[in-house]
Amino acid sequence: MPKSKLLIAILLIGSPMMSQAASFDCDLPDLKPDERAICDNRDLNDADVKMVTTLDLLAGLFAMGTRGNMMDQQVTWLHQREACGADVDCIRDAYDRRQKQLDDIYQSIDRPI
């Protein structure tokens, strides 16, 4: 198993929020349609937890400028996900694309063997 996938798996296992989406509170009454779909779908919920965990991990590895750019990209991505409405397939595709972007960022980091 590649080191990045192992690290993410360890972080996910240790995550205390496995039963709820990590990036927002599913109990709020005024959720947007994409958020409601994520709360109602375990696969999307898990994708959200994985994506947020990966983003948090990466944010801790970079200096302020790069970290700020990553957060700006995240805001743009959230708007794209929101445009999916309650379309589960669209949301799933959005998570797949974002997770790949984050995984690519992680793989590009220079690190000792």
pLDDT in tens, 36-68: 999 999 999 999 999 999 999 999 888 888 888
Average pLDDT, the chain: 85
| Domain definitions of the chain by residue range | 3-107
The DSSP secondary structure of 26-91, one letter per residue, reads: TT-TT--HHHHHHHH-HHHHHHHHHHHHHHHHHHTTS-HHHHHHHHHHHHHHHHHHHTTTT-HHHH
Average pLDDT, integer, range 28-40: 95
Regarding predicted confidence, which is higher, 108 or 87?
87
The Cα 67–Cα 78 span in angstroms is: 16
Query: What is the DSSP code string of 24-35?
Result: S-TT-TT--HHH
Compute the distance between CA of residue 64 and CA of residue 50 in angstroms, rounded to an integer: 23
On whether the CB atoms of residues 82 and 34 are closer than 8 A, the answer is: yes
First to last CA, the chain: 15
Confidence at residue 43, expressed as pLDDT on a 0 to 100 scale: 96
pLDDT on residue 16:
47
Residues 6+ apart with CB under 8 A from 95: 44, 47, 48, 51, 81
Q: Can you give the pLDDT at residue 64?
A: 86
Question: What is the rounded average pLDDT of the residues 3-32?
Answer: 67
Segment among 12-16, 46-50, 74-78 with least mean pLDDT = 12-16
- CB-count exposure of residue 5 (10 Å: 0-12, 13-18, 19+): exposed
